[in-house]
Amino acid sequence: MGEAIHLNREEKKTLIRFARAGGASTRESIQLCKDAAEAGADYVMIIPPGYYAGALLADTTSIKKFFVDIAEASPLPVIIYNFPAVSGGIDMDSDLIVQIIKSSGNVCGVKLTCANVGKLTRIMAQVSRPGFQSAFPRSSASPFRAIDGFIDFLLPSISVGSAGAISGLPNIAPLTNSQRSCVRLWDLCQDCESSKEATELQNLIALADGVALKIGVSELLRQFDSSRFLC
């Protein structure tokens, strides 16, 4: 993200050595989770390995297996990180993310740096349903959390179940109006009590819209017309 220009020669060499020591494999990621636990971390955040993005996208079961295998072996709770811009364009949809959540109780959250409020809504609409926790219990004592990767859609995302945002903007100029504005926005979001009925309705609409996005509006209309004709 441009930090290299701020490093001296030796710092750059150190960065390269550490980068080469890491890896995007399942085996290496599990070991890094264990290292993080030994170092005192509370959680780990896992991003899809984007180098072979085309092959992974051709069979998304491999993406699911990558996350589930790591989560099941990790001594720390796992946060899924969906950031297409830095993972070869891999943009996990809500169905895949929910499948991963259901498959491992050690998945405690998701960070969405894809600016998709509808996706966040569909995820929270399912994981917050009555009975989801008992059917798919979490290993962590805390409830499942969804987090924004951008602060520019914090207000609408909070209204549909987001726990907050991890954003770069408030850090750009921490002593200027940028930070104060972001903190003020967060405070205002906490004061806004959404109607329970509106939230439930938004969840229902978001799930329906997820179907429309997958099959297309024209196909949805065709099926609707056919079913109405048959009735």
**Is residue 201 scored above 50 in pLDDT?**
yes
Q: Of the residues 34, 111, 119, 196, which is catalytic?
A: 111
Both structure tokens of 69: 């295998």
- pLDDT tens figures, 212-222: 667 776 776 67
Q: Is the pLDDT of residue 224 over 90?
A: no
Which residues touch 38 (CB under 8 Å, ≥6 apart)?
A: none
Contact assessment for residue 142 and residue 161, using Cβ atoms and an 8 Å cutoff:
no
| Rounded CA separation 165/29 (Å) | 24
What span, in angstroms and rounded, lies between the C-alpha atoms of 220 and 214? 10
pLDDT at 210: 65
Q: 61-73 and 26-38 helices cross at what angle (nearest 10)?
A: 30
Structure tokens at 34: 């264990």
What is the model's pLDDT at position 1? 47
**CA 103 – CA 23 distance, rounded (Å):** 24
The mean per-residue pLDDT over the stretch 28-53 comes to 92
Give the pLDDT confidence score for residue 111 in this predicted structure. 96
Residue-wise pLDDT for 125-148, tens only, equals: 999 888 998 999 998 777 899 998
Pair 93, 129: CB distance under 8 Å: no
Where would I find the beta strands (DSSP E) of the chain? 44-46, 78-82, 107-112, 145-148
Sign of the CA dihedral running 131, 94, 158, 163: positive
* Statement: residue 226 has pLDDT above 60: no
CA angle in degrees (0–180, nearest 5) for 129-132-138: 130
Q: Per residue in 41-96, pLDDT tens?
A: 999 999 998 888 888 889 899 999 999 999 999 999 999 999 998 899 999 999 99
Q: Among residues of the chain, what percentage have pLDDT more than 70? A: 78
Closest CA to 156 of 165, 169, 167, 168: 165
Least confident span in 77-86, 101-110, 161-170, 183-192: 183-192
pLDDT at 33: 94
Instruction: Say what percent of the chain tops pLDDT 90.
Output: 41
The answer to whether residue 196 is catalytic is: no
